[in-house]
Structures are given as structure tokens and as C-alpha cells.
Amino acid sequence: MSRLVMKFGGTSVADLERIRRVARLVAAEKAAGHDVAVVVSAMAGKTNELVAWTDGAGAAAQGLAPSDDEYDVVVASGEQVTAGLLAMTLRNMGLRARSWMGWQIPIIADDAHGKARIDDIPPEKLAAALDAGEIAVIAGFQGVTRDGRIATLGRGGSDTSAVAVAAAIGGACDIYTDVDGVYTTDPRIESKARKLSKISYEEMLEMASLGAKVLQTRSVELAMAYHVPVRVLSSFVEPGEAPGQGTIVCDEEEIVEKRIVSGVAYSRDEAKISLFGLPDHPGVSSTIFGALADANVNVDMIVQSHARTADTANMEFTVGKRDAQRAVDIVRGLQGQVGFEDVRLNDDVAKVSVIGVGMRSHTGVAKAMFEALAAKGVNIQVISTSEIKISVLIDAAYTELAVRALHAAYGLEQL
């Protein structure tokens, strides 16, 4: 029988009635002949509650260094509750099921608590359970370090858990969420957004990293690296209803017609840090970004330009809002060593991006983007490009206007 990993996010398991619906969907796949493993998130809102508790009880309340390993112990408990409830529900339906914590499989992760990466998943225990006809209900978002401590995989880490488990056991992965697929942009902003039947791993990776909330970035990286078939489906259907095909995430070669632009993504979780009067000589950037990397601060867009003063430069880069003040403090600590004049923080910005594999072979994509934004009076602060995407940093107040303008400029409502 084929192996299938089904992943359900927080809104899909938000209460007992939704957990019962999930159980019915799982039971239908089991009845269809699949060996089923299920990866679950915490119930909607639970992780935020747990994080708030850690903030109140931990370092933030007392001005101490964070206890990241104990933070992981607390926030990983949300998925444990969901896994147990779903396993109980399946048993009550007459099915063989049991819950699995990350340490029981085990999902072996590094010790970067709060944002750990998976190192290995020995498949033997899980495969044996599936071969014996058991439904494995796995707590997502968590692994175990080699010295036996719980480690969480970062927000959205249940997606990563699901794809990694699918890769380990040689199965496909269906991601069930509160939308019925991947759209050309956020339908809450643009009512004319269209669902994509297929999207390439590369496009999905860019969309995930640039703010689309459907899949977590590392889950797409894993799917692409191990060629795991992934579908995005809605969990708000009953077995026997027509759920649609959702969106298939696949190799670019499986998409017959390449679109120039497939989607518009945005992220409000951005902060811009500006450095003025940097000495313009080798080693300065290495010192700054090396210190940020050592502190696990992820840097995104980077732009450097010559300053008016001879032999100096100005630099701007972006980080996530959660890391913004820490990044500024780290950079300020280097002022004596590096010798720059000033550092400023602006967290009232947003990143808007257009993505499409067709950019590789078509010109004029950037021109269309800049013209569309200029026509709406949207000023561009920073520009970043790759082979299949263009991103701009703008004032946060113009986010929705920019998304709608770009969606129209590339005719995405006609897909």
C-alpha cells in the first residue's frame, strides 16, 4: 500500500468538532488503502498562549538571558495535546491509532532551540507501525536533540515535520489548511485572486519565504530536495464531498505552460536597518553580518551605496520584526570596531514581491512592476531580485494597494 502523510494546521484542529472532522478525513484515506501518518499542529491560538506564558515567566519578565530549551518544553506541549485528542478520536471510531511525540520517532534536530533544523529521522519505528496497520498521529513542530532535549522547529514547523516524515518513509504529503490551495495572492486583499492548479517547488519556495502563509519555507526546501509530492487541500470538507484537487507543488517540468508571473506575495514582518557612514573597505560587511549570523538573526534584503563623504558607504538591510531591536543592539555594539556614523531602525515597512519561473525567459517584468507602483504613488525604498522574483520594500501603509496593483498589472485574475 502507498504511504501518505496528512498534515493539519491549527485552524483545522481548533476544537473537538474540527478534530472529529479531521478524524473522518483520515479514516477515509485509511479505507482507501493508504498507510497513513498524520502530523498535527497545536489548536488555533494555543501556541500564542504558550509563548505569552513563557514571556511572562521567563527572561523577558526578569531581564535575564533566555532559557530557550525550557521555552521549547512549554511551546511543544500544544501539539502533544492535539495528537492525543486525535488518536483518541480515531480509536473511538474503531481504528488502530496512537500518538507519537518527536522524541519517540525520533525526529533528531540540532540544538538551535526555537528554530531547530531536522538532522535525521530514522524511519524504522514509524514504518513498522504503519506496516502493522496503525495510524500514526505525530505531534508536529518538535524534535529532540542528540542529548535528549525537546527542540522546536520554528513557527509553521509542523509543515516541515510532515514533509520530513514523508521523505523518511517514502510517502506523499497532503497539507490540509483553511484554504483550498495556493492562490495568486491573498484572497483577503484581492477578491480576484485565482487558485493555481500547479506550482513549482521553486515558485512555492519563493512565495513561502516572501510572506505567503500557506506553506512554511523549510517544508518546501525539503520537498524539493527529496522530491516529495505535496498537495495543498482544504480541511473544511467531509469525506465524500468534492474537495477539489487543491494545488500540487511539483517539479517545474511537470507544468506544461510556464507563467511569466505566478503570484504576488507580501510580508509585514519586516524591519529596515540603515547604517550611515560605513568605512568603504574590505571586511566591514563580513564583520557586521558575521555578528548577526552568530546571533541567529536572519538578514534578507541588503543594499549598499556610496555616501557623500569620500571612502564611506551607506547600507540598508532588512530583518524580521522580532529580531529588529536585537539586531540594532548587535550592530551598535560594533560601532567602535567598525567605525560607522549612525544606525537607524524603521519597522513601519512591508515587502511586496512578484514570483514566476517565466521571468527567466521574459523581459520587462521589472518595468511592469515599477510602472504599476509608480502609477499608484507607491515609493520604493529597497529592491531585491533573484532569477524568479522581484521584491520591493515600501511603506507598510501601501501594502494592500501595491498587492492589488501588481495583481492587475500581470493579469493574474485571468489565470
> pLDDT per residue over 41-67, tens digit each?
999 999 989 988 988 886 655 555 556
Specify the pLDDT at position 245: 75
* Residue 311 pLDDT grade (very low, low, confident, very high; cuts 50, 70, 90): confident
pLDDT at 64: 53
The CATH 3.40.1160.10 domain(s) of the chain lie at 3-178
Predicted confidence at residue 56, as pLDDT, reads 82
Chain region(s) in the chain for CATH 3.30.2130.10: 264-414
How high is the pLDDT of residue 362?
Answer: 85
Q: Which fold has domain 264-414?
A: VC0802-like (3.30.2130)
Convert the chain into a string of H (helix), E (strand) and C (coil). Answer: CCEEEEEECHHHHCCHHHHHHHHHHHHHHHHCCCEEEEEECCCCCHHHHHHHHHHHHCHHHHCCCCCHHHHHHHHCHHHHHHHHHHHHHHHHCCCCEEEECCCCCCCEECCCCCCCCEEECCCHHHHHHHHCCCEEEEECCEEECCCCCEEECCCCHHHHHHHHHHHHHCCEEEEEECCCCEECCCCCCCCCCCEECEEEHHHHHHHHHCCCCCCCHHHHHHHHHHCCCEEEEECCCCCCCCCCCCEEEECHHHCCCCCCCCEEEEEEEEEEEEEEEEECCCCHHHHHHHHHHHCCCCEEEEEEEECCCCCEEEEEEEECHHHHHHHHHHHHHCHHHHCCCEEEEEEEEEEEEEECHHHHHCCCHHHHHHHHHHHCCCCCCEEEEECCEEEEEEEHHHHHHHHHHHHHHCCHHHC
Q: What is the pLDDT averaged over residues 219-248? A: 84
Q: Give the pLDDT band of residue 363 (cuts 50, 70, 90).
A: confident
Name the fold adopted by 3-178: Carbamate kinase (3.40.1160)
Percentage of the residues of the chain whose pLDDT score is greater than 90: 73
